[in-house]
Amino acid sequence: MKSVVPTARHFTDLARATAIAELSGLLQTGRLINRVSQLIDALQLERGTSNIWLSSDGRLFDRERGARTRHALQARQEADIELAALAQRQPQVGGARLFNRAARALTALETLPALREGISHKTLEPSAAMSGFNEVIRQLLSLIFDAADAATEPAVSRAMIALFSFMQGKELAGQERALGAAGFACGAFGDAERLKLTTLIEGQNRCFATFSQFAAEGVMQRWAAHRFDNAEFERLRRIACTQPHPDIAGEESALRWFALHTRRMNGFKQVQSALEAALMDSCRAAIRQAERQEEPPASPHPAAEDGAFQLVISPLEETPPGALTTDFLSPQLSRSVLSLAQQQSLRLQQLGQELATLRAGVEERKVIDQAKALLIRHRNLSEEQAYQTLRTMAMNQNKRLVEIAAAILAIADVL
C-alpha cells in the first residue's frame, strides 16, 4: 500500500493537539499544587501548635494540637487523590524528575506518624519536632517547584514561579512563628535561635521580592492589601532577635506572638489563593488560545525571525507568488512551519531564563549566608553586623553583594 506523505498542515494540527495535551497536563498539575499547598498550610499550623505545646510542657494548645493534626490528616487525604491522578499519567519526556520528587514527598509524609507519636509522648525536643516538620514541608515545596519547572508556556511558568517563591517565603514565615513561640514559651533565645530568626526574616524578604518580579498585577494588588503592618508584631520581632532573656517572656507573650504571626499568615493565604487562581486561569487561557488557533500565529519577534531564519526564508515581499524557497515549500508554508519551531524555541528560552533567575537567587542566598556565617565565627560579629559589613564592602568596591561574599569564601582558609 502506498504510504501517504504528510503535509505541513498535518504537523501543524499535531503541534496544536500536542500543545493542548501539554496544557491540560499543566491544568491537572495546577490542581495537584492546590491540594499540596493546602496540605502545607495544615502542616505549618500543626508544626506551630506542636512546638508551643512542647515548649510549654503541654500547658498551651493541648486541644488545638489535636485539631490541627486531624486537619492535616484530612488535607493529606485530599492531596493523595491528586497524587494518585499523577501516578496514572503516561511517562513522558521530562517527567522523571517530577515523578521522583513525588516519590520523595510521599516518603517524607510517611515519617509523620512517628513524628506525631514522639511529640505526644514528649520524647522530642521542640527543635527536633520542628526539624521533622520542616523536612516534610521542604519535600512538598520541592514537588511544587519541579511541577513549575516542567511548564513550557511562559505565562503559566511565570504564574508557577510566583506561586513557588511566595510559598517558600510563607514557609519561612511559618518557621519564624514556630521558633519564636517556642523561645517566648521557654523564656530564652540562644545565639543560634536569634541568628536563625534573623536569617528567616531576611529569607522571607528575598522570597517575596522574587515573587513580586513574576506575579501578575492583580495578585500584586492583593499583596498590597494584605501587607501586615503591625507595631506590636515588629516590637516582638526585635525583642526575639536581640534579647537572650526577654523581660516579657512567658506563656502570654508566646500566645501573643503566635496570634500575630497567624494573622499575618492568614493574609498570606489570601494572596496564595490569588496566585493559585492566576495559575489555573493562565492554563485555561492558553488552552482556549490553542484550541482557536488554526495555524501558528506570526512571530512576535520579527527581528529574531529575520536573523535566525534568513538563510531558509526569503522575505515575502521579495519572493514572487508561487516561488519556492530553499526548503522547497511555498513561502507561506515555510514561514508557518518555521514560525512554529521558533515559537517553541522562544518559549523554552524564556522559561529557561525565568527558572535560571530563580535558581540563581537561591544560590546567591547560599553564598551570602555562608559568608555571613564565616564573619560571625572569625570576627565575633552578630548576624546583622556581618550583613552590614558585607554591604559596606560591596558599596565601597562598587560590586554586588554576592561577589563580595564569594571573595570572602575564597580566602576562608587564611582568615
- Which residues make Cβ contacts (< 8 Å) with residue 144, sequence separation at least 6? 33, 36, 37, 160, 163, 164, 167
125 pLDDT band, cuts 50/70/90, is very high
Task: Dig out the grid coordinates for 132 from the structure.
Answer: 521533622
Q: Which residue has the higher pLDDT, 154 or 406?
A: 406
Highest mean pLDDT range out of 3-7, 35-39, 337-341, 373-377? 35-39
Tell me what pLDDT residue 386 has: 83
Identify which of 408, 338, 342, 414 has the alpha carbon closest to the alpha carbon of residue 375.
408
Helices 62-87 and 95-109, axial angle in degrees (round to 10): 150
Specify the CATH number for the domain of residue 403.
1.10.10.10
CB atoms within 10 A of CB 406: 16
The dihedral of CA 357, 362, 364, 365: what is its sign? Answer: positive
Whole-number pLDDT of residue 214: 87
Q: What is the mean pLDDT of the chain?
A: 80
Q: Can you tell me the mean pLDDT for 145-172?
A: 79
Residue 245's CB is within 10 A of a number of other CB atoms, namely 8
Q: Which of 102, 134, 150 is the last residue of a domain?
A: 150
In a domain, 358, yes or no: yes
Q: What CA–CA distance (Å, rounded) separates 339 from 158?
A: 23
Final residue of a structural domain among 106, 131, 150: 150
Which amino acid does the sequence have at 135? Answer: E
pLDDT level of residue 349 (50, 70, 90 thresholds)? low
The answer to whether residue 273 is domain-embedded is: no
Task: Give a yes or no: residue 367 inside a domain.
Answer: yes
* Residue 299's pLDDT band (cuts 50, 70, 90): very low
Question: Bigger pLDDT: 7 or 320?
Answer: 7
Residues 6+ apart with CB under 8 A from 366: none
Give the domain range for residue 126. Answer: 9-150
**260 lies in a domain?**
no
Residues above pLDDT 90, as percent of the chain = 40
Q: What is the mean pLDDT of residues 235-258?
A: 91
Domain boundary among 114, 134, 150: 150
Tens digit of each residue's pLDDT (9 = 90 or more) over 385-396? 888 888 888 887
For residue 62, CA distances in Å to 45, 57, 71, 97, 108 come to 13, 10, 15, 40, 25
Q: How much is the pLDDT for 404? A: 84
pTM here is 0.69
Report how far residue 381's alpha carbon sits from residue 225's, in angstroms, rounded to the nearest whole number: 37
What's the pLDDT at 109?
Answer: 97
165, part of any domain: no
**How many distinct structural domains can be found in the chain?**
2
